[in-house]
Structure 1
């Protein structure tokens, strides 16, 4: 799947016979790079050996592929004077009572990430520059409950490149929200991750073509004129 061109990869049943698209061209002035939820909490190994084993493939994907590719995209965007933006899950209250329902249900999503604590911060290797915009969210979508929509409009952004975690949760929710607001979106499949590759691939098939275009990091860098 990952070896195919963006023009043919990750096609769902709905788009099996859609026409081959023309090449994409992204103007740096109207394009933003949005890094979603690559936070310390999600790259910290569990103290439980069973959980650590379950998440080992995810951690390997993050460290060997996703984080290096996001770093390349950030460096490219900065070099071309593109807006680099970040979204992170971070509650305003220490006890997390301001979180949305999706972020306080029992289980994996029930993470308490107060905004000033280490766990909620973007990982050091991708640290935002002081002038780069970071939005805090207590929902899955980076548009819901934040002023990101207004910020993008004020900056004259028409196209958003989305990367980060988790593909099937906050990335997908953000992509769908952006598409509903008539932003063009590109998702870099090798700069995102879900808990498993199967979940990751299935979600990319669901959002490709209708909500975004799914492409590799190399292909996306090539789109930027």
Structure 2
């Protein structure tokens, strides 16, 4: 899929779940994501994209997962497998280091942090769509974790709502290369408007391309 044009006033970087538990050594989920994250050079790519969009005047939105609290999901009729795992592992626990932002990706002045999503889509039961529309956003560049769950679900939902969706294949990770393949080669081509590399998006956001 080809590179699109990204007008700063109507484009946003949407960063899904930039928590220590996913992105930092010592995080609860880091051991499961580490191999793929290091293979794709995830952290350096995320740093480069965040720095570039800030320099380009593109607004950054964060779509954060629900931070676990005692009692979450325990009385639900149908908690999904991920939620059942969170009940056991206490991933993204509120008030704990793992549920805090990775220090390189913490919100800065002007960033928008949406309400926390309970399952996989950053749009479901949150204010993300309202926040994006109130800021005039039509184009989303989506990065973060995990490629085959929250990123996939958030991006697909964005398409359903009428946004132009760009995925960056090496600015995300999953628990295996098979899951990365499923996300980028099987799922994303059915809904994403562009599937790029970090090098592609950095080039597209350079002043000469805008």
TM-score range, shorter chain: 0.7 to 0.9
In the other structure, the counterpart of 1:129 is 108
Task: Select 2:179's aligned residue among 182, 199, 218.
Answer: 199
Provide the C-alpha distance between the structure 2 equivalents of 1:95 and 1:193, rounded to a whole number of angstroms: 29
Question: Does structure 1 residue 27 correspond to structure 2 residue 3?
Answer: no
Contact 1:176 / 1:207 at 8 angstroms: preserved in 2? no
TM-score (normalizing by structure 2): 0.82
Q: 1:221 to 1:109 in 2, by over 3 A?
A: farther
Task: Select 1:58's aligned residue among 22, 32, 36.
Answer: 36
Say which SS state the counterpart of residue 209 (structure 1) adopts. helix
Deviation of the 1:209 alpha carbon: 3.4
Provide the C-alpha distance between the structure 1 equivalents of 2:107 and 2:101, rounded to a whole number of angstroms: 8
Question: Does structure 1 residue 164 correspond to structure 2 residue 140?
Answer: no
Contact 1:160 / 1:183 at 8 angstroms: preserved in 2? yes
Question: Does structure 1 residue 88 correspond to structure 2 residue 96?
Answer: no
Deviation of the 1:157 alpha carbon: 0.6
The structure with the larger Rg is 1
Structure 2 gaps, min length 5? none
Say which SS state the counterpart of residue 95 (structure 1) adopts. coil
Question: Does structure 1 residue 138 correspond to structure 2 residue 118?
Answer: yes
Q: 1:24 to 1:93 in 2, by over 3 A?
A: same
Deviation of the 1:132 alpha carbon: 1.1
Q: 1:109 to 1:154 in 2, by over 3 A?
A: farther
Contact 1:139 / 1:145 at 8 angstroms: preserved in 2? no
Contact 2:11 / 2:137 at 8 angstroms: preserved in 1? yes
Contact 2:33 / 2:173 at 8 angstroms: preserved in 1? no
Counting matched residue pairs gives 199
Structure 1 gaps, min length 5? 1-6, 8-20
Provide the C-alpha distance between the structure 2 equivalents of 1:30 and 1:108, rounded to a whole number of angstroms: 38
Say which SS state the counterpart of residue 57 (structure 1) adopts. helix
TM-score (normalizing by structure 1): 0.77
Task: Select 1:116's aligned residue among 86, 91, 95.
Answer: 95
